[in-house]
Amino acid sequence: MTNTPVLFYHEGTCSLAPLISLIWLDRPFRLCRLENEEDFKNSDFLTLNPLGEVPLMYLDGTILTENVAILQHIGLTDFSRGITFKPGTPEFDQMNRALGFITSDFHKSFFPLFGVQSLHHDTKIQGEIKANMVHGPLRAMYEYVSDHLLHGDFIFDHPMIADAYLFATSRWGEHFFNIAKDFPKIKRFQTAMASDWAVKLALAIESGKQKDSIQNFLGHVEFISFVKEAVARKKEVDQANGVGAFAPGLKQESPEKESLLDEKQA
């Protein structure tokens, strides 16, 4: 079992965002690759994340899911990398605003498109639903990104965690739009991101071109054995905390919180 953070990922998905960010962070990490549908349905993986989704970050028995949480965790680990902002600043609020938009409105507006067969069995109607979604809500999201989210090449003034997330998800639009023609500002952003050294390395790892460890990437752990070990370690950590995964440490009230309660009761 490793104390090094391990990111569970799948090629072509939103887990590219934390992968890019981990490379920017320049601290050791490992990867665990999900290859297929079977891996997503693996019972041990579902114990770690009952939603059966990537990204999932294993932090020595603690499990973190949700891009927003994982990306801020990575960014806040080392401010000197400049990939997020300091909590409590107006810039940090704007970072969370960008992440919130990408994770909800933007990211999820693709899902009826990728899973259209679950909405109707008739392929003709599936085509109509798809066309309506692309030319309605999805186009509106791309217009919003072009007109309001991007400032110059990036969301802020250099590539940061929200840019990594937008890069990972906005690439899916290639299936539905001619991005260069329809949304030149987004194409400019994608091109600028694609020339970043960490993005290049992340894409090489995802595609399997870069298999061996390099820089702060220490290599892959094997899915079936690691996911089992991770479940066992998670159980130990949950037992030690005495609470569930969503509330680690909740029982240990902070001194300030206790004194506030005392004042209220007095």
Binding stretches for ligand GSH (CB under 6 A):
13-14, 40, 52-55, 66-67, 103
**Residue of closest CB approach to ligand GSH:** 53
Q: How far is the CB of 54 from ligand GSH (least distance, A)?
A: 4
d(CA 92, CA 228): 37
Q: How far is the CB of 66 from ligand GSH (least distance, A)?
A: 5
Q: How far is the CB of 262 from ligand GSH (least distance, A)?
A: 38
Residues 6+ apart with CB under 8 A from 97: none
d(CA 54, CA 52): 7
Q: Which is nearer to ligand GSH, 55 or 159 (CB)?
A: 55
Q: Which is nearer to ligand GSH, 14 or 83 (CB)?
A: 14
Q: How far is the CB of 67 from ligand GSH (least distance, A)?
A: 4
The token duo for 144 is 């919003």
Q: Which is nearer to ligand GSH, 67 or 72 (CB)?
A: 67
How many residues are recorded in the chain?
A: 266
Q: Which is nearer to ligand GSH, 195 or 207 (CB)?
A: 207
Rg (CA), the chain: 20
Q: How far is the CB of 261 from ligand GSH (least distance, A)?
A: 33
Residues 6+ apart with CB under 8 A from 103: 66, 67, 68, 165
Task: Identify the DSSP state of 85.
Answer: -
Q: Which is nearer to ligand GSH, 46 or 243 (CB)?
A: 46
In terms of Cβ atoms closer than 10 Å to its own Cβ (0-12, 13-18, 19+), residue 249 is exposed
